[in-house]
Each structure stands twice: as C-alpha cells, then as structure tokens.
Structure 1
Amino acid sequence: MSSTNNIKDFPKDYLNSFGLGIKIADDFLTDIIDLNHEVSIKAFREMVVHKKNPKMDMYQVLDQLRKSGLTDTANYLHSLL
C-alpha cells in the first residue's frame, strides 16, 4: 500500500495488476492512528511540544493539519484528546 494525494496518476487496475493499492495521506494516517490510539496521541503531543517555528498549541496544530488537507486525521486526533 502506498500513500499519495495524487491518485489520478495511479490507475487502480494497473496497481492491482502488481498487487498494490493506494490511499490518500489522510486515510493512511487515520489507519495508523487506529492501530494504536495511545502511541498516536503520545506522538502527536510530542510533535506539538517540539513545534517551534511558530510555536503552536495542540488546537492550533490540529487546525493547521485541517488546512493542509488532513481533516479526518485532525478530527480523529481531536476526538482522542
């Protein structure tokens, strides 16, 4: 499985012929979070603590993720906080 937001250049039938699939980044990240909520929240909190330029709180980082097209990821993380 590969992750990209440029799925139009990767025809599903062609990828299937190699046993491959494709997901957009938002779906890939929500799947990763779903595997282990505790580790995901810990990693998110560490990311926020180390965010320096500019410094942001958790909710500002979540808003930035949404603006970057990771809406489902941000909403999922937010629901776990």
Structure 2
Amino acid sequence: MLSVFLDANVIYSITLTDVLLTLAEHDLFLPLWSPNVLQEAQEAASRTLPDAAQQAFRKRLIMMDQAFPESSIHVEESEWSQFDLPDPDDRHVLAAAAQGKADALATRNIKDFPQKLLDSFSIQVITPDDLLCVLLRRNPEATASAIRELIDSRHRPPINIPDFAKRLERSGATQFAAAIAHIRQPLGNHSYFDQ
C-alpha cells in the first residue's frame, strides 16, 4: 500500500484532511505524520483561527491521531540534524518521512524538499492535489465511492458534489476538484462516473 507522509500545511486544511483520511479509511493509502507535524499544524491554527475554532482543531488532531495509531512516526531531534534543507525547520518532516519509510511526502512547499535529496530515501515529493489525482487514477471507483460517502455523511449542513468540489478547489486541490465534480450516484453496479 502506498504510504504518504503529510506535512503540516496539508493537515491544516480541514477539507483536504477530511478527504485524505476518508481515502485512508478505505485503504487507498496509509497516511503518516509525526507529533511535531501535528504540533506545527496546531501552532498555525493558533495564529489564524479564533479561540473556539482552535479548540475544535486541537480536538480534531487528537481524534485523527487516535483513529490512525500506526500513522504517527516519532523521531528524536538528533535524528534530523543531519539533513540539509532550504528551510532547516523542515528537517523533522524529512526525518519522520524517512523513518516511516514513506513512498511520498505530500506538501504545499515542494521547493523546500529538493527531490534530489529525497531520492536518496526513495521518497517522492508531491502536492496534495497531485496525491489525490494519483489515488483517483489508481482506483477511480473506490476513490469516487469514498468521496460520495463523505459527502453523503454531511448533514449539518448538507453539501452536494459541486459545492464540495468548490471547497476542494479553494483548498488548492484544483485538478482533483475538477475530476470529482462529475461523480454521480451509481445505479446498481454501474460506475460512479459518466462513461
């Protein structure tokens, strides 16, 4: 199974995280993160979200960590000091991805993780949008089914596929949003996508 380390800037987006964790629940990939990454996402939330939303965000991270106990990679600070990255604050991300034997590292900051360095760990750096598109290409029906299930579970307030696709687009997943905008409810054993 494809394993993907999620950077804090991916986890920060509620919409992206909902989609990614839903796909992970359907065994389409294994998400990985570290306590440091969750802390970094929490710190970003504390700078940008109102107090009530910060508490909800913190609770969300705890629930996420509990739901995927195999996803948390613990790395000692001494293990990341060796890495030479454009932003030294990202060294813990690469160290945890390498220790977790991730196939890919999903981040919005591709330039901060030179592929040449990641090649030595057999890790592919990828945007969250590209990751979602890869998962869709690898298993279109299972991905569509998982997205349909996620959308159908929303009741407060309910949401339809076009509106959900717009949320994904705003979160930066433009290619994936365009692809899922055409998901429909299957009839019997027919496809989720129009032929």
Fold equivalence (TM over 0.5): yes
Q: 1:8 to 1:52 in 2, by over 3 A?
A: farther
Question: Which position in structure 2 is the counterpart of 1:43?
Answer: 146
Give the aligned residue type for 2:109: N
TM-superposed deviation, 1:70 = 0.5
Extract unaligned runs of 5+ from structure 2: 1-103, 183-192
**Please, what TM-score do these two structures have when normalized by structure 1?**
0.86
**Please, what TM-score do these two structures have when normalized by structure 2?**
0.39
Identify the match of residue 126 of structure 2 among 7, 13, 23.
Answer: 23
Identify the match of residue 77 of structure 1 among 154, 177, 180.
Answer: 180
CA RMSD of aligned residues (A): 1.5
Equivalents in 1 of 2:150, 2:121: separation in Å? Answer: 35
Structure whose CA Rg is larger: 2
Q: Which has the higher helix share?
A: 1
Extract unaligned runs of 5+ from structure 1: none
Q: SS at 2:157's partner residue?
A: coil
Q: Deviations over 1:8-44 (max 9, x none)?
A: 2211221122222100000010000111111111111
Give the aligned residue type for 1:9: D
Equivalents in 2 of 1:37, 1:9: separation in Å? Answer: 30
Give the aligned residue type for 1:23: I
Question: Which position in structure 2 is the counterpart of 1:11?
Answer: 114
TM-superposed deviation, 1:5 = 1.0
Higher-RCO chain (CA-CA 8 Å, sequence separation at least 6): 1
Residue identity over aligned pairs, in percent, reads 30
